[in-house]
Structure 1
């Protein structure tokens, strides 16, 4: 009989690049480096090549271990969908380390499955609500900062006195933007951007 395997799945966004905490937790759980799958994603791109490879390798009775429930998906619907793919289609098990109740190897009877499903739905909803609250708090913080006069984005570079003369020469075609930039000690893109701002 084929030995059942235990896989670890790690997901981090490009904003939060520190996967070390998840890696250490999975290693301590007994998962080898070769059985860990890691995806680093940007906020807009949720294509998960490592996750898809792991799903392909999953066999009946294998176990997927994640540090927390939100590693499985971005939102409530996605977490439930991936949970069902792993447990129902693949007939594999899931262990959520942060929530011992979410260990499908335990309580395989009807009551155990029911409790697991209820806890999963509740936690998925809480995870999504918390993300939405964080986004709302960030938006409110930015709005309040703007009202106080806080400027966002890159700080505008102050142009030296020679800028006006060089920009006039550039407009007349006497000098290139690169030459003007070199004389001012800035890139030609910065020179052109500031010329455009003065128009």
Structure 2
């Protein structure tokens, strides 16, 4: 019997290492970690994720699949419940780090089965609603930022590419900031910003395609 931790993280979520640390701190003895990084849990089913597919080949009857929460196992209510039931059908025990839930298909008591299935449905529905709420909040935030170009792109540069190159060349020759400002028509404050953070000054040009 083996215990496999499955972790899924998107680019802005907690790391795989953090999820493993949480699992071990909760008392799980992890034999292997399988992880999908940069994969959306809202749009991609477990079986369609590169590492998620491995679980169906790796896990055998009696093995334990450890996940931080049931939302790691699917993109919506139907997907999560189908995935949990498929693993239970194969004799795999699913355990969650959060709240220490256990889903074992071996039980034959009808009352326990009813409680287990109801719990699966409830948690899967909760996971889906939370994911959808997060997705909508992110979408609204992005749309709002896009409607305010300066906020989304940052302040528009007060210089163009030609002026930027002239400033960099002049500073590289050791010319004084005041003389560079006079020659290029750019304020001394802007000259200092270009000098002190050239990478960001050039990135601003790229964002505004200036």
Q: TM-score, normalised by structure 2?
A: 0.65
Q: Distance in 2 between matches of 1:113 and 1:68?
A: 20
Q: Can you give the 5+ residue segments of structure 1 that lack an aligned partner in the other structure? A: 167-179, 195-199
Encode CA deviations 1:67-109: one digit per residue, 9 max, x unaligned: 1111111211221121122111x22111122234443278542
TM-fit CA distance, 1:149: 8.5
RMSD of the alignment, in Å?
A: 3.5
TM-fit CA distance, 1:45: 7.4
Question: Match for residue 83 of structure 1?
Answer: 84
Partner of 2:74: helix, strand, or coil? coil
Encode CA deviations 1:132-181: one digit per residue, 9 max, x unaligned: 22233344455666788972134422215xx6xx6xxxxxxxxxxxxx86
Q: Can you give the 5+ residue segments of structure 2 that lack an aligned partner in the other structure? A: 169-200
Q: TM-score, normalised by structure 1?
A: 0.68
- Which one has the bigger helix percentage? 2
Matched, 1:65 2:66: yes
Partner of 1:86: helix, strand, or coil? helix
Determine if contact 1:101/1:116 at 8 Å carries over to the other structure: no
Identify the match of residue 6 of structure 1 among 3, 20, 26.
3
Question: Match for residue 120 of structure 1?
Answer: 120
How many residues align? The count is 172
Identify the match of residue 38 of structure 2 among 32, 38, 41.
41
Partner of 1:16: helix, strand, or coil? coil
